[in-house]
Amino acid sequence: MALLEARGITKAFGQLTALSGVDLTVAEGEFHGLIGPNGSGKSTLLKCIAGAEEATAGTIRFAGDDITDATPAERARAGLSLKFQITSVLPALTVYDNVLLALQAQSPLLDLIYSRTRRGLDDRVMAMLEQFRLADRADEPAATLSHGQQQWLEIAMALALEPRLLLLDEPTGGMSLEERRVTGRLLAPIKERCSLVIVEHDLDFIRDICDVLTVLDQGAVLDTGSVEHIQSSRRVQEVYLTRV
Amino acid sequence: MSLPVAESSGTRASPARRGLAVIPLLEIGLFVVFAVLPFILEDYLTVFVTRVLILSLLAISFDLVWGYAGIMSFGQALFFGTAGYSVALLARDLNITSVFIVIPAAILIGLLLALLLGSFLLLGRRTPTVIFVALGTLTGSYAADRLARGWYYLGGQNGIPSIPPMTAGSYEFAEGPVFYYLALATVVLVYLLCRFLTRSQFGLALAGMREQEARLAFLGYRVQHLKAIVFSLAGAIAGLAGGLYAFHEGFVWPNMLGVVLSTQIVLYALFGGVGTLIGAVIGVIVIEIVSFWLADNYQEIWPIILGVLLLLVILFRPTGLIGLLVSQRERVGRFGRPNLARAKSREGSRHGAS
């Protein structure tokens, strides 16, 4: 059974139709890349899946449950985690507190009030920060991090929720070449922990880490299949490679 | 003592670290001053400062909702006044004045009313806007004021006069030092409770909410539930203040419920600075003392002077008076890494010894 099944997702903003009847299926443990020219609806699709945008039509099933009408918090609790395109770390809080905030999100209310999980989560926060090369900045406000480091912190926060499916919207946006390489290395081990849907412009980056690619064009699916299939697809080459 | 910590965590963190002790100093300083005031002040001034203490509870309740949970409540007087009227009725009609009944009753009434109003305003399917909640609470406060003015049973415009004193057995809490220390103990207790809450992991969730409410939902937080909890707690604190106020003054009247007092509470907190608890208390103290002094010395024009003063602070110092004393870093606070600083300094001294 597929982990995520989005069927006929349509999203209209007034007169503009951003998505029209898009299907997306993600299997357990799969790394799924969403590519397409600017304005093809990649980010909108991701937002509809995470609940940041309400789809005008269509259904979304996650792990067998219909989550079409679920709130973002309910989707997060079900195991869907979204990293936004524009970094939205909490700038005034310390780097450490940003990760703790994500890790403690599902602690019961009384545990939060009595701070019962703070000590227990310390190791996991630090392990997360080590993994994303942020441990030595733990005590500093997140606002002082570089853009690339803020992206890593965002990924760390999204991953801290131990999601079954991680949705990454342009994780390497605005990064230097070196930072992109490091990001690729940081994402590789995630494969053992969850599935991934990733929106990315950098084709080299996405080719290296994804099993399956879906190409969107003007709000519709142009093609979907393995990396090799997509690379050899004439339709994709015509539409995508000539326009990007 | 802080030197090894600053060194071990890098130079970038050290400026923030240096500022980390201002709030506790303010808290201890104010407590010491309040603890000795009745020994210094004349009785009529002790009564005045008791009133300031009770109003501090209201300011703390507003700081919780706006400074921590991002709910703009123009209705804190609604909970204050309703609880005040309720205990006044208990005393007048049922002769119940025991502190062990009237104070819990005041707290419960504030809590339940806030829970009810909060459920309507905060727990809808769509996230309510700040303006919606502000108008909703404002309307509640205004409606209650009009209701009290028009309802004969509640004494109409005159309110309920001559409430008998609050009692504990045969003991009567009269105005003066005894009531003062009761109010002080209550403020300290409520303050410590709120301090504990806002510095806990729950407080971290509130701090996150204050920064980016939408982000928190995507981490799985039920943001509106958290808001409703804080709103209800703040209602309970305002109710407690209302109960104390009714017995301290000996009467209740419609202004206790109305928009003017609700706005005054907002001003206390904004003037002192929100998001630190102590800022709200400082706001009450400064505004009340300045009002008292101005009213004595410039009887004709004091409201104008006070208004201009408030406007100046809010326009030019959006962080309030507390922003002059406390760094942004300290206002936000740190929530995680328990004892990290101490652990690091221990580590540092071990290395130093070897």
- Which residue type, as a one-letter code, is found at position B256? M
What six digits make up the tokens of A13?
Answer: 């903003």
pLDDT > 70 in chain A, percent: 96
All domains of chain A in start order, with CATH: 4-85+164-243 (3.40.50.300), 90-144 (no CATH)
Determine the pLDDT at residue B5.
33
Is it the case that residue B292 has pLDDT exceeding 50? Answer: yes
Number of A/B CB contacts below 8 angstroms equals 112
User: Which chain A residues are closer than 8 Å to B214 by Cβ?
Assistant: 88
Interface test with B, best of A85, A87, A90, A116 (most B CBs within 10 A): A90
User: CA gyration radius for chain A?
Assistant: 18
Chain B hits for A113, CB-CB cut-off 8 Å, are 197, 200-202
Q: Each residue of B165-185: pLDDT tens digit?
A: 999 988 889 888 999 999 999
| Residue of A82, A93, A115 with shortest CB distance to B218 | A82
CB contact under 8 A, B217 and A88: no
Q: Residue B333 above 60 pLDDT? A: yes
Say whether pLDDT at B247 is over 80: yes
Q: Which residues of chain A lie closer than 8 angstroms to B215, CB-CB? A: 84, 88, 90
B329·A141 Cβ contact <8 A: yes
CB of B119 within 8 A of CB of B228? yes
Residue B95: Cβ-neighbour burial (10 angstroms; 0-12, 13-18, 19+): exposed
Q: Average pLDDT in the B290-310 region?
A: 84
By C-alpha distance, the chain A residue nearest B204 is A101
Q: What is the pLDDT of residues A54-110, one digit of tens each?
A: 899 999 999 989 999 998 889 999 999 888 766 678 998 999 999 999 999 888 889
**Between chains, do A105 and B219 touch, taking CB under 8 Å as contact?**
yes
Q: Give the tokens for residue A8.
A: 């006929």
**Pick from B13, B201, B332: which is nearest to A92 by CB?**
B332
CA distance to partner chain B, nearest, from residue A66 (Å): 18
**Which residue bears the tokens 């406060």?**
B141
Q: What is the pLDDT of residues A98-127, one digit of tens each?
A: 999 999 988 888 998 988 888 888 888 998
Q: Quick count: other Cβ atoms within 10 Å of Cβ A228?
A: 10
ipTM of predicted assembly, 2 dp? 0.83
Q: Which residues of B touch A93 (CB under 8 A)?
A: 204, 207-208, 211, 332, 335
Give which of B170, B174, B160, B183 is closest to B90, Cα–Cα: B160
Q: B335, A97: Cβ pair inside 8 Å? A: yes
A226: tokens are 């393995």
Full-prediction pTM beyond 0.80? yes
- Of B11, B125, B201, which to mutate for an interface test with A (greatest number of A Cβ within 10 Å)? B201
The number of residues making up chain A comes to 244
The domain B21-341 is classified under which CATH number: 3.30.70, 1.10.1740, 1.10.3470, 2.40.160? 1.10.3470
Q: Is A199 helix (H, G, I), strand (E, B) or coil?
A: strand
CB contact under 8 A, B220 and A105: yes
